[in-house]
Amino acid sequence: MVAVGDTPSPVFGSQRVGERPAAPILVFDIETVPDIPLMYAGFEPALPEGRKFDVERDWNNLSIVDLIKQQKQINFPAPMYHLAMSICAVFVHPDTHGIIDGFKKTIPSCGSYAELLAAEAQLLRDFWGFCTKHADAARVWYDHVQSDFRMNDYQRKKLKPLPVTFCGYNISGFDLPVIEQRSMKHFIPCPIPEYGREFGYDSYRSRFALDKCFDLAQFVNGNASQKIGLDILARSMGLAGKLEGMHGSQVAEAFYQRGASQLIEDYCAVDVLITYGVYLGVQRFRGILDLEQFAECARQFEKFLRHDGRPPPYRILAEQSQEYFEKSQLKHS
């Protein structure tokens, strides 16, 4: 993805005078592994006779997770039990819808539970920090507009530019709750004032506040009785599916038993890029992107994937997504 560095914040425009500029869009995905000691404390499974749970010995023992699933009939535990070990993201310009920045970080192989928790805490701090990287992009606009003496405080608040719009597939149901709850565990404050302090329909947690949290899964599935997943939706558009040789259910084994952090990061990064391609398709459906804009976004997306120096999985994604790129250009050839 785009290298994370001291890149200047782009200027975000406004479609109409007096309208709050759209926030930079953060398309992201996380990969997790079970927090085994916490799961043991929460579920207290019966261990084989004569054995006691030892954090120093069993912090990475996946057989404990298997016992919990069998004894407690739990297939997918609550967000708090999922330890965040990889986060990848791209910032998308709210006007051009092109990629402007990126973030990739994955916990390396750890030798103890304490080391693992410390690495997760730093990962979460880095991610929250990246979320606010472009928060001041519309400051000049706001400083000019909010000085209007005829506006009351409520109006000024409504005009204040948002620092970020979170976007992803099922982020409201899983990714954001994991990040929130694991941050609470580590006493890490969220650097976005609007995120934790507002409630109701104006909150980041409201499914109706699409300018703050645009969950593609909620938008795509709506009230449908049968839900569609990211992989099949992407394939329907001509995008490649998930990275071969890895699946979400394999992440824990790959990390705890093989220390395959790079493979997991590649898997997470490809998921983010697939999600971005789906995001463009959704914006085309919504009428946010017209034919010319969608075609240009697709061209830039393919160029991004094929750029020299990109990791091999990016180029493979481009090669396996030719149907998507070709269909996006059909009306413009």
Q: What is the largest CA-CA distance in the chain?
A: 75
1 lies in some domain: no
10 lies in some domain: no
5 lies in some domain: no
**What pLDDT, in 10s, does the model give residues 264-319?**
999 999 999 999 999 999 999 999 999 999 999 999 999 999 998 889 999 999 99
* pLDDT score, position 146: 66
| Local structure of 82: helix, strand or coil | strand
Query: Whole-prediction pTM value?
Result: 0.90
313 lies in some domain: yes
218 lies in some domain: yes
Cβ proximity of 110 and 116 under 8 Å:
yes
Q: Which residue range forms the structural domain that includes residue 178?
A: 25-332
What residues pair up with 89 in beta bridges, in sequence order? 28, 103
φ and ψ of 43, to 5 deg? -110, -20
How far is residue 180's CA from residue 188's CA, in Å, rounded to a whole number? 9
One-letter amino acid of 264: I
**What pLDDT, in 10s, does the model give residues 206-256?**
777 778 899 999 999 988 878 899 999 999 999 987 777 657 678 989 999
- CB neighbours (10 Å) of residue 289? 20
74 lies in some domain: yes
What residues pair up with 92 in beta bridges, in sequence order? 25, 99
What's the total number of domains in the chain?
1
9 lies in some domain: no
291 lies in some domain: yes
**What pLDDT, in 10s, does the model give residues 153-180?**
777 777 777 889 999 999 999 999 999 9
Question: Can you give the CATH number for the domain in which 160 is found?
Answer: 3.30.420.10
Tokens representing 308?
């020299």
